[in-house]
A and B are shown apart, each in its own frame.
Chain A
């Protein structure tokens, strides 16, 4: 199974400031087609998880361009250029390459 490791576990942020979450996989998520099979999700309080970034760096429909995904192989980063109060929630990376699909442990983003 592919193990996903996220950091930090807890991320207090100041509105207007940037924020960054790291995710590492135990094996490469770079597929032969050149795509990295790594997604980012956010679960806001009281809501279902929603897709933020797919295939490493592609924003899902409706996701603000403040969010960006980068990285390749085994090391990935989610960046928020300017945090807004609505961004609070649990952020997860997930490898979409093979079953069992596996998630990182999650990063709780809260406003300072």
Chain B
């Protein structure tokens, strides 16, 4: 059974830093591109970042570029999101998700999601 379990969400002050983790099980982790998506209160889903299977290619939403860093440790079946210079607008549930292999790596359909971890940025 595929499982993704996020952790690391807490209340943090504006300007602070946080690292989210996502531990994967039930599939060959290093075969898949992984993604972070967030859902802020009263707002829709927003893609945050993507990392390819080998970690060599990373992509970011403009809203987090230069502040967030995605990484992975395939030996530990783990995905990370380092979040720096946090702002109140970053308050959201953060989900890690797997990009399924439906078109040979050319597309990013998100077929499994974790339960989410809540990041709250507040003074």
Contacts and interface: CB of A to CB of B under 8 A. Distances in A.
B113 interface: yes
A37 interface: yes
B59 A99 contact: yes
In the complex, which range does the number of interface residues on chain A fall in?
20 to 34
A27 interface: no
Contacts of B110: 39, 41, 49, 51, 94, 96
B108 interface: yes
Given A99-B50, A100-B62, A101-B35, A60 B111 contact: yes
B113 to A, nearest CB: 4
B45 A94 contact: yes
Contacts of B107: 31, 35, 37, 55, 96-97
A35 B103 contact: yes
A40 to B, nearest CB: 10
| Overall SS of chain A's interface | loop
Given A48-B95, A100-B59, A39 B109 contact: yes
A19 B76 CA distance: 44
B75 interface: no
A81 interface: no
Contact of B114 (A48, A55, A103): A48
A75 to B, nearest CB: 19
A89 interface: no
Interface of A: 31, 33, 35, 37, 39, 41, 43, 48-51, 54-55, 58, 60-61, 90, 92, 94, 96-97, 99-106
